[in-house]
Structure 1
């Protein structure tokens, strides 16, 4: 499934986060800050140029079951993950 993060459209409660535009040294702090800002039931649609497996481990370790991650797209150069805040 292809998704173009340069056009942030979607239903209410889905907030785009394009990590490709954030300096690498700030990315994880910005991602965790964005996740902390979400209310239960909201989704952060995360876009990146690579599969962020270490980041996913960090998120799982820090948030546990509170954040659910599901891939929207998992293609070379275009990875899109929805992070849902559990209610």
Structure 2
């Protein structure tokens, strides 16, 4: 994986109505090869499905911890050319949102 530690994103501290938008924004800010460590109080299955549809194979999703009341997931952006999907190819992350 990468030498740098993942950026922490603790969804438990964000109001539920803003969580998905904040998560998508944080993922869009990641550069190729960077990871975000997502922490939540439940398994975000609808979010995972949205991410898989939106980012396809460019986003690697790995559960780190799955216990009662704590779910930790690492989201890693694949470098351009190593996975099929929607990559911008310019080193700026996925670029799905166009901004």
Equivalence map 1:17-36=2 (5 Å): 17-36=9-28
Which residue of structure 1 lines up, in the alignment, with residue 40 of structure 2?
A: 48
Q: TM-score, normalised by structure 2?
A: 0.75
Runs of at least 5 residues in structure 1 that lack an aligned partner in the other structure:
1-10
1:40, 1:12 → 2: CA distance?
A: 12
Runs of at least 5 residues in structure 2 that lack an aligned partner in the other structure:
80-99
Instruction: Work out which structure has the larger RCO, using CA pairs closer than 8 Å and 6 or more positions apart in sequence.
Output: 1
Which residue of structure 2 lines up, in the alignment, with residue 62 of structure 1?
A: 54
Runs of 4+ in 1 over 2 A off after TM superposition: none
Q: Which has the larger strand fraction?
A: 1
Aligned residues: 77
